[in-house]
Chains A and B, each alone.
Chain A
Amino acid sequence: MASGQQWVLVEMVQAFYEAPAYHLILEGILILWIIRLLFSKTYKLQERSDLTEKEKEELIEEWQPEPLVPLVSKDHPSLNYDVVTGFVSAVSGHISEEMNLPPSHKIIVNGKECVNFASFNFLGLLESERVKLKALSSLKKYGVGTCGPRGFYGTFDVHLELEERLAKFMRTEEAIIYSYGFATIASAIPAYSKRGDIIFVDEAACFSIQKGLQASRSFIKYFKHNDMEDLERLLKEQEIEDQKNPRKAKVIRRFIVIEGLYINTADLCPLPELVKLKYKYKVRIFLEESMSFGVLGEHGRGVTEHFGVNIDDIDLISANMENALASIGGFCCGRSFVIDHQRLSGQGYCFSASLPPMLAAAAIEALNIMEEDPGLFRVLRDKCKHVHKALQGTPGLKVVGEPLAPALHLQLENSSGSRTDDLKLLRAIVDYSLDRQIALTLARYLDKEERFLPPPSIRVVVTVEQTQEEIERAAQCIRQAAEKILK
């Protein structure tokens, strides 16, 4: 065997010597070719076509951006805002000389004196002398601005007091204040709900909730407005999904986000049923109460008090202080376990300057008034019912909303088919009323941004200051306008 191998080797060497030169050269080239193929990179899958510098320059040269903003026609109906002023003693004819009334119950719109049926000044605290004095004394002590976020010397003793008072008023463990009503729920939602979590939301949810949902980057599931069956269907679907992947289900947080009184529809949420669903499907409830705080319930604590639901069953309640409290800002309240988390994670809390102390002081005084006189809420409720009743039977317009709601919507019974035309009609009614000293407003929406755009409507706001006679006059005025315009 060994000799056989040797023979092969010898023969190979012999063959090498005997081979003709051209043969060797050819083989040598072939070997080199193989080596080259072995070591060279894989062939190109596609022809790479790097742009030359010149081509790049051309591309840059050619590119034309869209204009920063599309042109707005000068006579767009909502471009020129109505200018509002208060009464100066010189202007007001029948108001006594020393009065200096802010634009609240009586308001001057574009120079016309009107009764206000548009501002969310439910409890009439906008012109409260007490609130004003408290704000002024705070201004004397603290100046106007806070010059810093809460973390960096922007926490004033007034803020702590207001938080404590709000928590006490709502009977929760803790409250946290924001310096802007809109930013409250919009910051609170993404503080808890993150990518991958699931949020169940009512279709009629207001815009700030929608922004909060968007900022959270969670999965959003909309259920039909106030339709508990639809919500349960979604929750069941999720339950089935969870059973497929129990490990994943253990880390997915779920939330139901609802409003107490929907600003877009003036409907109440069915809170007791929602709480049942909460425990059945282990979902947390975030409740936005901007419209119901200081309105519903015996003491104005909102929708939880109205339904007699234990407030601890709601994980987070948020509301703004810009409606009933007639100040600026918003707050969230709930258990410390929940609320405290926002002090480091609520973007609108951490990264924004804190609420000017005079506005916090005004809110405290407004709370005082609310606590001292729970009769206010009864008066408001009666007025709401009155307005609701008085507006019934307006030709061509239907009243949308609960009789309890302080902000009702008047929608067209028969839409003309185009939103612009509908708005034009409603606007004509608003203008007609304005001429007759009733200040109303269209409910404004960003048509393209709203997830589910509510139908066009006139918003009628009830406040405790409106007298029987004024309400009758307003209802009459709207009726006349409707008869005239919507024939």
Chain B
Amino acid sequence: MTQNSASKLLNGDTLHRTKQDKKAGGNGFVKNHCLFQQQQKRYRRPAEKSHHASRTLLYKKTFVESFEETPLLVAVLTYMGYGILTIFGYLRDFLRDWKLEKCHLAREREEQKDFVPLYQDFENFYTRNLYMRIRDNWNRPIRSVPGAKMDLVERVTPDYNWTFEHTGKVLKDVINMGSYNYLGFAENTGTCADTASECTEKYGVGVCSTRQELGNIDKHEELEKLAARFLGVESSMVFGMGFATNSMNIPALMEKGCLILSDELNHASLVLGARLSGATIRVFKHNNMQSLEKLLRDAMVHGQPRTHRPWKKILILVEGIYSMEGSIVRLPEIIALKKKYKAYLYLDEAHSIGALGPRGRGVVDYFGLDPCDVDIMMGTFTKSFGAAGGYIGGKKELVDYLRLHSHSAVYATSMSPPITQQIITSMKCIMGEDGTTLGQERLCQLSENTTYFRRRLHEMGFIIYGNNDSPVVPLMLYMPAKIGAFGREMLKRNIGTVVVGFPATPIIESRARFCVSAAHTREMLDTALNAISEVGDLLQLKYSRKNRRGSEGTDCFSYLESHLD
């Protein structure tokens, strides 16, 4: 569906409209306050699950994002899989009730048996009967740096995942495709580790006070100045935990009578922060600009519900890279919308900072935009910087206000000094201020690795979600049984992957997720890819029906045939 948007030049006088799209009738004319002279803009609906390059001049390069549709047969089989699991679940619960099967779940104390149950039975049903079957794929303990290769603690379970025992053995050199170590700064040697240990010597590990009281160490100030320079904003502030950066600062910015427009796939921390703020929350479809624009127009035309007073302010909440989809936010379009409708923009760059853009400055850099157009730049240091914590950057007024009103600044212990130092060193490395080109090399390596890994997986015939440039690579598994099988088979081949299913994803869209890192060498990626291909054949995962180079591979029908055999 195409939508022609009318243009309005910055002076506001000239206003001409082009023909209206038939289907967007309800939406009315949509005109855009574009930064550029062009006015033709094309959108594809994500309902088609495949948006190819929006050929708009808003984008300086092609923006390819694909979400291949779930093959119908696979969807049906997936639902059947869940059906069977549920039936068996009930059966086994029945057996447990009659004490025919031993229940390993922790029980309520005898003294409190007559209390209201602490949690609901359904949640528990899912844990008992579905999650427990494949629990060994999560929480795998590691005992080394979470770098390109890691050592896992070997676990065995004597009772089908109810409990785990450590054998004392170690799975050595497992290729790590799961950690968010995009730039490979998770290291125990090198300048980062050295400076961090120097800092530990000097400052110790704790702080025991808050920023507003006596927990404002000079290192924090140094980091904040550096981060502001890194982001290209006036000022910045850092916090001790990424999750809390969202959940404790959004409430300081928004209040009752404000409107938050939030992407449907936003991270739990953004959702929590929005909820705690007391503002009205409306959700738009993932990365769908029409949906967002409709909400914006409605908000402006109708105002607050019932009273119809105009909204005090409107905040758009988006992420840079969506960690479960691998998609990149359509930032140029969002900025155009935000300017036209005078909304504010909160950009969470948890996964994109350091991982995107020629200079590693995140999505803003990736699209070549001005950081000043984003009102609130938020991000975390957990991923690309190999540390912990989060930041907020923006205008000086904003940051000053947060210094006074952020929940974190007043009530939470400030960031640990060695963590702060790790961020300073890695950030300087990315900026090239350490006098080397190591940071730049890492950035190039990451983008090279990403392209290579995505291309190869696509060629093999897997359904891969997300943007071609995103280092987060979700590979679709769909069926619940394959979640466990994939994770285990990969571990057998000495590769650590992350698999996710409901409730982190929609019920039929279980997936495996790879995070490409600059620390991965070509050999490691090849080993991983070969293993993935092998497991993919074993588990019939090559669902893609798109044209691709190389062999035709399995499509849905040959898949069916092979299953019926």
Task: List the interface of chain A (C-beta within 8 A of B).
Answer: 51, 53, 56, 59-60, 63-72, 76, 78-79, 81-86, 88, 100, 102-104, 107, 109, 116, 118-121, 125-127, 131-132, 135-136, 139-148, 150-157, 159-160, 173, 179-183, 192, 206-208, 211, 214-215, 249-254, 279, 282, 284, 312, 315, 320, 322-323, 325-328, 335-338, 340-341, 343-345, 347-348, 350-353, 355-356, 358-359, 362, 439, 441-442, 444-446, 449, 459
What is the chain B residue whose CB lies nearest that of A217? B275
Given A143-B146, A152-B178, A337-B107, 15 further pairs, Cβ under 8 A: A63-B300, A63-B342, A66-B313, A76-B404, A147-B179, A157-B141, A192-B119, A322-B206, A328-B205, A328-B207, A328-B413, A344-B127, A344-B131, A353-B242, A444-B411
Does B97 reach chain A (CB closer than 8 Å)?
Answer: no
CB neighbours of A250 from chain B (8 A): 116
Q: Mark contacts of B377-417 with chain A using CB atoms, 8 A cut-off: 1 yes-contact digit, 0 otherwise.
A: 00011110111100000000110111111011011110011
Q: Mark contacts of B3-28 with chain A using CB atoms, 8 A cut-off: 1 yes-contact digit, 0 otherwise.
A: 00000000000000000000000001
Does B102 reach chain A (CB closer than 8 Å)?
Answer: no
How far, in Å, is B250 (CB) from chain A's closest CB? 12
What is the chain A residue whose CB lies nearest that of B116? A253
Greatest chain A CB density within 10 A among B206, B388, B418 is at B206
CB neighbours of A148 from chain B (8 A): 146, 178-180, 382
A446 to B402, CA, bound (A): 11
CB neighbours of A121 from chain B (8 A): 206, 208
CB neighbours of A327 from chain B (8 A): 205-206, 416
Q: Please judge, given known A-B contacts A60-B300, A215-B275, whether A322 and B208 are in contact too, CB under 8 Å.
A: yes
Greatest chain B CB density within 10 A among A67, A79, A84, A160 is at A84
Q: Which of B114, B119, B200 is A282 in contact with, Cβ under 8 Å?
A: B114
Contact between B243 and A183, CB atoms less than 8 A apart = yes
CB neighbours of B451 from chain A (8 A): none
Does B240 reach chain A (CB closer than 8 Å)?
Answer: yes
Restricting to B201-218, which residues have a CB under 8 Å from any CB of A?
A: 201-218
Stretch at the interface among B46-54, B187-195, B436-444, B463-471: B187-195
Contact between B186 and A179, CB atoms less than 8 A apart = no
- Total A-B Cβ pairs within 8 A: 367
A434 to B186, CA, bound (A): 40
CB neighbours of A341 from chain B (8 A): 118-119
Stretch at the interface among B225-233, B264-272, B554-562: B264-272
A267 to B255, CA, bound (A): 32
Contact between A351 and B269, CB atoms less than 8 A apart = yes
How far, in Å, is B316 (CB) from chain A's closest CB? 12
Contact between A143 and B145, CB atoms less than 8 A apart = yes
Interface size on B, residues (CB 8 A): 121
Q: Please judge, given known A-B contacts A155-B142, A328-B413, A356-B419, whether A146 and B388 are in contact too, CB under 8 Å.
A: yes
Does B327 reach chain A (CB closer than 8 Å)?
Answer: no
How far, in Å, is B564 (CB) from chain A's closest CB? 36
Does B306 reach chain A (CB closer than 8 Å)?
Answer: no
Does B169 reach chain A (CB closer than 8 Å)?
Answer: no
Q: Please judge, given known A-B contacts A65-B343, A102-B202, whether A56 and B178 are in contact too, CB under 8 Å.
A: no
CB neighbours of B131 from chain A (8 A): 344
CB neighbours of A173 from chain B (8 A): 106
What is the chain A residue whose CB lies nearest that of B385? A145
Q: Please judge, given known A-B contacts A56-B301, A322-B413, A446-B405, whether A146 and B209 are in contact too, CB under 8 Å.
A: no
A157 to B143, CA, bound (A): 6
CB neighbours of A344 from chain B (8 A): 123, 127, 131
CB neighbours of A347 from chain B (8 A): 243, 268-269, 272
Contact between B410 and A326, CB atoms less than 8 A apart = no
What is the chain A residue whose CB lies nearest that of B145? A143
Q: Please judge, given known A-B contacts A102-B204, A126-B204, A136-B200, whether A182 and B411 are in contact too, CB under 8 Å.
A: yes
A71 to B397, CA, bound (A): 6
CB neighbours of A284 from chain B (8 A): 112, 115, 118
CB neighbours of B413 from chain A (8 A): 181-182, 320, 322, 328
Contact between A150 and B197, CB atoms less than 8 A apart = no
What is the chain A residue whose CB lies nearest that of B31? A57
Contact between A139 and B200, CB atoms less than 8 A apart = yes
Q: Can you offer 5 A-B residue contacts whose CB atoms are under 8 A?
A: A56-B28, A116-B214, A118-B213, A215-B275, A345-B119
How far, in Å, is B334 (CB) from chain A's closest CB? 16
Q: Which of A56, A215, A282, A335 is B272 in contact with, Cβ under 8 Å?
A: A215
